[in-house]
């Protein structure tokens, strides 16, 4: 385990000249998650990996100072090309900064952006501190709100508790009610863990039907018990999702979605998969061949290679000393992104669904392949089952799109199929036992 170290700024901002902006030709789009409260949160979700990150900054108050905020926003617009610029906040729990911090942020970046840049604001929150005033502000500035919710209350409350161990679902739903009252766009971020892994349809239908939310992101919980590199016997915590259950969960949700909800409900993972079947780069870094375009900014200006690697060996530098664009384009960051490809085991390189999976995220690659090579993804069996299962429908949808038609026509194709004939998905099963079941 890494020794905790203090990663604060080494020079006072007043004593250094501002890092220079890069030339326009050096700018390329990237995504950055800013964490204004570091790992600090008002909840104490049992599986949260951020809470352990407090040890990186011992004694810190974990609040982004105004000079860091201004430097960050200025460098963000300088570093990004023209077009859409996303300002993304997450935590910990970013709403702990208070509404005024976000008011300042929006005002500042509106002043700083170039005329050809359009701003897009996002915030990821547990929702428990949202009020009517928050919702009005978020609606006014068209924030996309990622709301963490793990399904119906009995599933959500299994791990998502506050510091006194009390359930949080009631407070989350109160926050959501405020958002809905102001028509704020909401994306549900649902972790799949040991408590809800066998309840895929309950989770999906709850979000779609009871909450009426049509944007869903599924996140597998994989927590390592030990960090010994790659050894047989490495284990995960009891809260972690089982790899096969993860595959079954995605398959159950996909089969419901592909029969009823294409074009109506947006499940990030399915969109990413469809992109892969169309030979386009998926929007999710975990399914790309290489990564390195999704960085994390800590409250004090430290920039890390990725939100999942906020640790000393992946610290790129601090924006008060080095311009963000330089950190994003640094050799260290390029190496980080390429490592996703160069570390892929031979087992993955010959896998029939590699084009869609690419070994998923390196953070989950800690088991051995059947022939003993290190670096296989813990979730491999689930992904392999899932990507093979969706191959037929994905080929159908990709074909429709290539013909200039709509992907949602697939639902009509399934519905119109002769029940006793082979299913149009190509599974070989009769339609009545497949996508008409």
Contacting positions for ligand SF4 (CB under 6 A):
285-286, 291, 294, 306, 308, 340, 347-348, 351, 353-354, 357, 359-363, 377, 380, 383-384
d(C-alpha 311, C-alpha 7), whole Å? 10
Nearer to ligand SF4, 360 or 391 (CB): 360
Distant-in-sequence, close-in-space partners of 5: CB < 8 Å, separation ≥ 6 = 56, 312
Task: In angstroms, give the least distance from the CB of 365 to ligand SF4.
Answer: 8
Range 384-389 contact pairs with CB under 8 angstroms and sequence separation of 24 or more: 384/247, 384/351, 384/353, 384/357, 385/244, 385/247, 385/248, 385/251, 386/246, 386/247, 386/250, 386/251, 386/254, 387/273, 387/353, 387/356, 387/357, 388/352, 388/353, 389/247, 389/251, 389/254
Most distant CA atoms of the chain, gap in Å: 77
Please give the full DSSP string across 251-274, using - where no structure is assigned: HHHHHHHHHHTTTTSEEHHHHHHH
Catalytic, 238? Answer no
Distant-in-sequence, close-in-space partners of 203: CB < 8 Å, separation ≥ 6 = 150, 151, 152, 155, 190, 192, 196, 253
Task: In angstroms, give the least distance from the CB of 222 to ligand SF4.
Answer: 11
Decide the pairing of beta strands 365-368 and 374-377.
Answer: antiparallel
Range 207-214 contact pairs with CB under 8 angstroms and sequence separation of 24 or more: 207/149, 207/151, 208/261, 208/265, 210/152, 211/149, 211/176, 212/180, 213/186, 213/187, 213/188, 214/261, 214/264, 214/265, 214/266
CA distances in angstroms from 236 to 93, 367, 386, listed in the order given: 25, 11, 21
Among candidate residues 208, 209, 133, the one with its CA nearest the CA of residue 175: 133
Task: In angstroms, give the least distance from the CB of 353 to ligand SF4.
Answer: 5
d(C-alpha 359, C-alpha 365), whole Å? 8
Q: Which of 271, 307, 408, 418 is catalytic?
A: 307
Burial readout 332-369 (b: 16 or more C-beta within 10 A, e: otherwise): ebeebbeebeeebbebbeebebbebbbbbbbbbbbbbb
Task: Kindly calculate the radius of gyration of the chain based on its CA atoms and give it in whole angstroms.
Answer: 22
Nearer to ligand SF4, 199 or 389 (CB): 389
Task: In angstroms, give the least distance from the CB of 340 to ligand SF4.
Answer: 6
Nearer to ligand SF4, 41 or 353 (CB): 353
Token output for 33: 């998650």
Q: What angle do CA 279, 264, 285 make, to 5 degrees?
A: 35
**Contact between 329 and 28 (Cβ < 8 Å):** yes
The catalytic residue positions are 307
């Amino acid at each position: 385990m890494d020794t905790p170290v203090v990663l604060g700024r080494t020079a006072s901002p007043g004593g250094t000249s501002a890092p220079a902006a890069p030339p326009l030709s050096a700018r390329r789009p990237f995504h950055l998650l800013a964490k204004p409260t570091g790992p600090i949160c008002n909840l104490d979700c049992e599986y949260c990996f951020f809470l352990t990150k407090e040890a990186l900054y011992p004694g810190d108050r974990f609040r982004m100072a105004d000079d860091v905020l201004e430097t960050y926003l200025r460098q963000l617009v300088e570093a990004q090309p023209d077009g859409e610029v996303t300002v993304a906040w997450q935590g910990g729990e970013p709403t702990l900064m208070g509404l005024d911090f976000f008011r300042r942020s929006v005002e500042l970046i509106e002043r700083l952006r170039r005329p050809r840049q359009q701003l897009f604001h996002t915030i990821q929150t547990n929702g428990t501190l949202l009020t009517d005033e928050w919702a009005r502000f978020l609606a006014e500035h068209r924030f996309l709100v990622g709301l963490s919710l793990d399904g119906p209350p009995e599933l959500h409350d299994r791990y998502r508790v506050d510091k006194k161990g009390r359930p949080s679902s009631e407070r989350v739903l109160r926050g959501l009610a405020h958002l809905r009252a102001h028509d704020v766009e909401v994306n549900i971020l649902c972790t799949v863990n040991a408590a809800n892994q066998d309840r895929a349809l309950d989770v999906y239908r709850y979000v779609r039907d009871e909450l009426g939310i049509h944007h869903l992101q599924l996140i597998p919980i994989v927590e390592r018990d030990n960090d010994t590199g790659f050894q047989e016997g490495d284990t995960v915590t009891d809260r972690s999702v089982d790899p096969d259950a993860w595959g079954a969960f995605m398959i159950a949700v996909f089969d419901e979605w592909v029969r009823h909800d294409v074009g109506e409900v947006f499940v990030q993972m399915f969109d990413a998969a469809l992109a892969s079947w169309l030979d386009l780069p998926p929007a999710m870094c975990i399914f790309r061949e290489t990564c390195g375009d999704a960085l994390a900014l800590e409250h004090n200006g430290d920039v890390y290679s990725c939100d999942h690697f906020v640790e000393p060996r992946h610290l790129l530098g601090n924006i008060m000393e080095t311009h963000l664009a330089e950190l994003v384009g640094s050799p260290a960051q390029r190496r980080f992104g390429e490592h996703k490809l160069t570390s892929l085991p031979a087992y993955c390189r010959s896998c029939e669904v590699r084009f869609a999976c690419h070994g998923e995220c390196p953070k989950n690659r800690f088991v051995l392949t059947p022939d003993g090579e290190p670096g296989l993804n813990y979730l491999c069996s689930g992904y392999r089952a899932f990507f093979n299962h969706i191959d037929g429908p994905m080929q159908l949808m990709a074909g429709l799109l290539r013909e200039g038609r709509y992907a949602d026509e697939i639902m009509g194709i399934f519905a119109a199929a002769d029940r006793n004939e082979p299913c149009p998905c190509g599974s070989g099963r009769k339609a009545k036992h497949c996508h008409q079941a």
